[in-house]
Amino acid sequence: MTQLTGRPTIDDDVVHLTVPADGGYLGVLRTATAGLAARLQFALDEIEDLRIAVDEACAMLLAIATRDAELDCRFAVTDDALGVEVTVPTVRGATLPSESSFAWKVLTALTTDASATASDGRATISLLTRRSSGW
pLDDT digits (tens, 9 = 90+) for 47-105: 999 999 999 999 999 999 999 999 999 999 998 899 999 999 999 988 888 888 998 99
Q: Where are the domains of the chain?
A: 13-130
* Angle value at C-alpha 51, between 114 and 15, nearest 5 degrees: 80
Pairing of strands 70-77, 13-20: antiparallel
Tell me the whole-structure pTM to 2 decimals: 0.87
3-state secondary structure of 78: coil
CATH numeric code, 13-130: 3.30.565.10
- In 6-131, DSSP assigns E strands to 13-20, 70-77, 81-89, 113-119, 122-130
Residue 5: is its pLDDT beyond 80?
no
Residue 4: is its pLDDT beyond 80?
no
**Cα separation of 122 and 107, whole Å?**
20
3-state secondary structure of 103: helix
What pLDDT shows up at residue 135?
Answer: 45
